[in-house]
Chain A
């Protein structure tokens, strides 16, 4: 029987996969979105900064910043969950540049004003086919049960490269 992989090797590989999805996208860095990983569970984090404000009188997060945050959380979760099984089975990252899914449509439901503090989001892939996927994402601030926004999006999957 093969001995189990050392935990640091597993963690390094999973972190490398996450980094390969997130670090190459300038806009994710521009907004400042980060990802917390626990096993295969991802939580997107949007640390508050003044440039995310839409209405300075309230003040409240800009609806556009919230929309972008949710779209990033949904897209990364979809790419992550699609690649996870292969990377775990192969013990290595896929070859070649990673292609992210493309957004077909995205519908955001604003439930309450976004407060000037950190926001969190988790996405769930409801359906993932060869070409299309449907993803739901929920965002909250102080209380996990009090969502301030949720969204559903459809995505076009990147073409699968045949293995040599």
Chain B
């Protein structure tokens, strides 16, 4: 499906900061999105262990949640974060890609409520979880 691949690349390329962090859109469907961020030594937060900085994980969470909102049939193709809470459960294993799946669990005319889970290669133990509220653009 080259079209989907092209759309996925364009989506990230249109977000300079997400592009700078090396993010890739892996899947997008009505109200859900999965975005991955490969391991990159430039994103290390703890030089002693090589663990990625929480701030980079936050950026991945925010991007995935925003993508989930934009893909929701009731939302327009633009959104802004109102608030985002991130819980850091455990350090991501150095060398592994971090993958975030975000999902709108409720969308009103003005606000989308979104949840996201980030994992590394061991997807049974979350690295981080996020809960956020995002703006919904009025359509038409």
Binding site for B on A (CB under 8 A): 24-31, 50-57, 60-65, 67-69, 71-72, 97, 99-100, 102-110, 113
Contacts and interface: CB of A to CB of B under 8 A. Distances in A.
Contacts of A61: 17
B44 to A, nearest CB: 4
A30 B41 CA distance: 10
Nearest to A109: B83
B92 interface: no
Interface stretch (B3-11, B24-32, B47-55, B102-110): B47-55
B68 interface: no
Nearest to B47: A24
Given A27-B52, A55-B15, 6 more contacts: A27-B45, A53-B15, A61-B17, A72-B53, A100-B46, A106-B86
Nearest to B63: A64
Contacts of B85: 105-108
B87 interface: yes
Interface residues of B, number: 39
Contacts of A53: 15-17
A72 to B, nearest CB: 6
Interface centre among A27, A53, A65, A106 (most CB of B within 10 A): A27
A148 B69 CA distance: 22
A152 to B, nearest CB: 9
A67 B60 CA distance: 11
B37 to A, nearest CB: 10
Contacts of B55: 27, 31, 64, 67-69, 71-72
Given A51-B20, A56-B16, A62-B15, A71 B87 contact: no
Q: Which 7 A-B pairs have the closest CB atoms?
A: A64-B59, A68-B55, A62-B17, A27-B53, A67-B58, A51-B20, A64-B62
Given A62-B17, A106-B58, A113 B47 contact: no
A56 B53 CA distance: 25
Contact of A68 (B48, B58, B66): B58
B44 A25 contact: yes
A67 B82 CA distance: 12
Interface in B91-120: 91
29 contacts: A27-B44, A27-B56, A28-B53, A53-B17, A56-B14, A56-B16, A63-B80, A64-B18, A64-B61, A67-B58, A67-B59, A67-B62, A68-B55, A68-B58, A71-B53, A71-B55, A71-B58, A102-B88, A105-B86, A105-B87, A105-B88, A106-B85, A107-B84, A107-B85, A107-B86, A108-B58, A108-B81, A108-B83, A109-B83
A77 B52 CA distance: 20
Contact of B83 (A25, A64, A110): A110
Nearest to B52: A27
B10 to A, nearest CB: 12
